[in-house]
Structure 1
Amino acid sequence: MESHDLLIFKHVAESHSFSKTAEKLGYVQSNISQRIKNLEEELGVRLFKRNNRGVTLTNDGEILLDYANQILVLMDEAKIKINPEKWQERLVIGATQTIAALRIPKILSSFLSVNNQINVKVRTDTTSTLLEQVFYGEVDGAFVTEPFDYSEFKTIYTIAEKVSLISPKNSSNKMQYEQTLLVNSNPYCIYRNMLIHLAKMNSYNNIRTIEFDSLEAILQSVSNGLGISLVPSDVAKLRKYQNEYDISELPETIQIDFVIKNRQQQPKGLKSFIKFLLEE
């Protein structure tokens, strides 16, 4: 039984698909199928049940997946222990754009002050993409702000983030929600959807929106009088912008969760980060 066969098996088990595994690992599908067949013949059991939706694990497959996860993590830890210069302990974190810009630098600064031997990478994307990356092991954990399937993931740490409505200087509070709403282009963005919901709750249905791909563009557009937006309070109060627009902090909060995949074995770098978050 080779470690790479276990890695292939793990990807098939998690994606429920030979074709998706082949695409992700850069193989032809027949190669993936043959490697799984060889593994089944070596063990003398069937690992997958085929159906119209792809493949699912048999009972024996479930047992092997648990061991495969442990073996692959232990192999990485062994490399780090034997040759730390070549195989540095790593941690890959995912975050949405706003969280990456505001919270990640502060969190990592504190974390690395006591864990400076860990090689950290940060990936920024939408919540749905980040969760997929957590699921497939491409990132160890992610900070997300949108609803997700809790059965596949475990929430480690939660932040209740205060939010503020920002509007051009001297704009009328009474007419606030009748101004153009400046929102993120991601239709699942929780700040975008909360702002639109608030506008509707204030009996304003003729909603006009302008979409932007960056937080910086939204802040600048509000300061230029283009419309209003909803952002984390800490962002609204940044020194370089706080005198550029009016700020109104709302009673509502947005929940930020740091999530990992439900699994028994965790990489050492992730264990250290989880310990840090819980102590914080």
Structure 2
Amino acid sequence: MESHDLFIFKHVAVLRSISKTAEKLGYVQPNISQRIKNLEEELGVRLFKRNNRGVTLTRDGEILLDYANRILQLMDEAKIKINPDKWQERLVIGATQTISALKVPRILSSFLSVHHQINVKVRTDTTSMLLEQVVYGEIDGAFVTEPFDYSELKTVYTIPEKVSLISPKNHPDKMEYEQTLLVNSNPNCIYRKTLIHLSKKNSCNHLRIIEFDSLEAILQSVSDGLGVSLVPSDVAKLQKYQNEYKISELPEPVQIDFVIKNKNQQPKGLNSFIKFLLEEKY
């Protein structure tokens, strides 16, 4: 069993596709298929179940993925230990688009001022996709705002995020929650769910909802008088938009959890980041 075979196997497991793995790694598809076949023959088990949409791990494949993550992590640590000038400690974290707007950059700015030797990457996606990426070892941890039921994951730090209702400056003289609601297209978005809940709580049974895929589009639409939205207070108070709409901060914050895989040994970069969060108390 070669380390590069495990590297390829991990990519197929995460991407759930041999063709996507070949495209990402720059290989021809038969080469990827042969590497997986060699692994299965060597181990004497099937690692993937094939279907029309790609591949999914078998139970044996899930076991191998856990070991592959550990082996590849140890190899990275060995490279860093032997030649730190060439190989840097790495940290790959994920966050939803709204959290990525301000919260994550501010945290990373402070973190890297102390740990400048760590190579950091940030990936933005939906909570469900981020949680899967943590499970599969594609990212080290993720900032999320939704509950999860993965036994393999655990929350190591929680941030209370103040949120504000933003509404057009010249909105009609009626309850703000009766405006058109401008929300993220992800139905599980905590800001979307909270705004809809508040609207229904205030006897707004006939809601008009417009969905957007970007936070910038929501902010601009509120500024243009299209409707109201709920966003982190830090985002609402951005100087660019501060005089473009009304801001009403809610008394109850939203909970942001930093989630990692529940295992005994974590990468050094991740351990440094967790320690930083606990000490700085964001």
Bin of the TM-score, shorter chain as denominator length: 0.7 to 0.9
The reply to whether residue 32 of structure 1 matches residue 28 of structure 2 is: no
Deviation string 1:60-105 (CA, Å, 9 cap, x unpaired) is x95x766544332121111112222332211111111111111111
Query: Shift in Å at residue 224 of structure 1?
Result: 2.1
Q: 1:20 to 1:203 in 2, by over 3 A?
A: same
Give the Cα separation in 2 of the matches to 1:9 and 1:39: 13
Counterpart secondary structure, 1:106: helix
* Matched AA of 2:41: K
Deviation string 1:178-233 (CA, Å, 9 cap, x unpaired) is 11111112222111111111111111111111222221221222122211111111
Partner of 1:147: 147
Q: 1:138 to 1:173 in 2, by over 3 A?
A: farther
Deviates more, 1:78-87 or 1:154-163: 78-87
Query: Shift in Å at residue 139 of structure 1?
Result: 1.3
Counterpart secondary structure, 2:98: helix
Give the Cα separation in 2 of the matches to 1:216 and 1:67: 41
Q: Which runs of 5+ in 2 are unaligned?
A: 23-28
Partner of 1:20: 16
Give the Cα separation in 1 of the matches to 2:271 and 2:173: 47
Partner of 2:203: 203
Q: 1:110 to 1:130 in 2, by over 3 A?
A: same
State TM-score, norm by structure 1.
Answer: 0.83
Give the Cα separation in 2 of the matches to 1:177 and 1:193: 13
Give the Cα separation in 1 of the matches to 2:66 and 2:237: 47
Contact 1:5–1:36 (Cα < 8 Å) also in 2: no
Give the Cα separation in 2 of the matches to 1:169 and 1:233: 17
Deviates more, 1:82-91 or 1:67-76: 67-76
Give the Cα separation in 1 of the matches to 2:173 and 2:164: 13
The reply to whether residue 55 of structure 1 matches residue 51 of structure 2 is: no
Deviation string 1:209-258 (CA, Å, 9 cap, x unpaired) is 12222212212221222111111112122233222222211123211111
TM alignment of 1:82-231, pairs within 5 A: 82-171=82-171, 174-231=174-231
Contact 1:218–1:229 (Cα < 8 Å) also in 2: yes
Contact 1:167–1:222 (Cα < 8 Å) also in 2: yes
Partner of 1:242: 242
Partner of 2:232: 232
Give the Cα separation in 2 of the matches to 1:21 and 1:68: 18
Aligned residues: 268
Deviation string 1:26-83 (CA, Å, 9 cap, x unpaired) is 355454133122134xxxxx69799x9862139xx95x76654433212111111222
Contact 1:141–1:261 (Cα < 8 Å) also in 2: yes
Q: 1:235 to 1:88 in 2, by over 3 A?
A: same
CA RMSD of aligned residues (A): 2.9
Counterpart secondary structure, 1:128: helix
Give the Cα separation in 2 of the matches to 1:195 and 1:251: 13
Query: Shift in Å at residue 5 of structure 1?
Result: 4.1
Give the Cα separation in 1 of the matches to 2:20 and 2:148: 23
Deviates more, 1:166-175 or 1:268-277: 166-175
Contact 2:165–2:249 (Cα < 8 Å) also in 1: yes
Query: Shift in Å at residue 144 of structure 1?
Result: 0.9
Contact 1:5–1:39 (Cα < 8 Å) also in 2: no
* Matched AA of 2:138: E
Counterpart secondary structure, 2:38: helix
Partner of 1:43: none
Query: Shift in Å at residue 129 of structure 1?
Result: 1.6
TM alignment of 1:245-256, pairs within 5 A: 245-256=245-256
The reply to whether residue 70 of structure 1 matches residue 70 of structure 2 is: yes
Q: Which runs of 5+ in 1 are unaligned?
A: 41-45
